[in-house]
Amino acid sequence: MKKFELDPRLKNDCFILSESEQFLILLMNNALVPWFILVPKTDKTELYELDKATHTQVFNVINQISNFVASEFKPDKLNVAAIGNIVNQMHIHIIGRYKSDAYWPGVVWGATEKEMYNSIEADRIKMRLNKVLVL
């Protein structure tokens, strides 16, 4: 099997928060919204292509991240999406949205407004997530 490599665009735009044999969990470097990305280590590009066990694992981790975002950030709405039009590698966005955020009610993709995390805040989020995450 080919060695897993994270798409360069995701690598460039995100902090790696957690890694297991099956997954990477990323934090988009944009503090305007809590934006997490789950990257299954697979060569499949579509959710329906996953075998049943992997599909179950992916949705289990999506639910864990969603619960984390809901409890830690208290968003008005959660957006969960596996779009992949530009980055073909399978990845699932879990984004906390607020009626007051810079992008509401539109989408976050392609927006130019951005606020970078400092490394201390990204590390805090990483520590809090990894306390509750079961991979």
Q: What is the pLDDT of residue 109?
A: 86
What are the boundaries of each domain within the chain? 8-132
Q: What is the pLDDT of residue 1?
A: 56
Residue 119 corresponds to which amino acid? S
Q: Do 101 and 33 touch, CB atoms closer than 8 A?
A: yes
Q: What is the pLDDT of residue 36?
A: 98
Total residues found in the chain within this entry: 135
Q: What is the pTM of this model?
A: 0.95
pLDDT tens series, the chain, 135 aa:
578 999 999 999 999 999 999 999 999 999 999 999 999 999 999 999 999 999 999 999 999 999 999 999 999 999 999 998 889 999 999 999 999 999 999 999 888 899 999 999 999 999 999 999 998
Alpha-carbon distance 131 to 135, whole Å?
11
30 Cβ neighbours under 8 A, 6+ residues apart: 108, 114, 115, 116, 117
**Kind of pairing between the strands at 92-97 and 35-40:** antiparallel
Q: For domain 8-132, is the CATH number 3.30.428.10?
A: yes
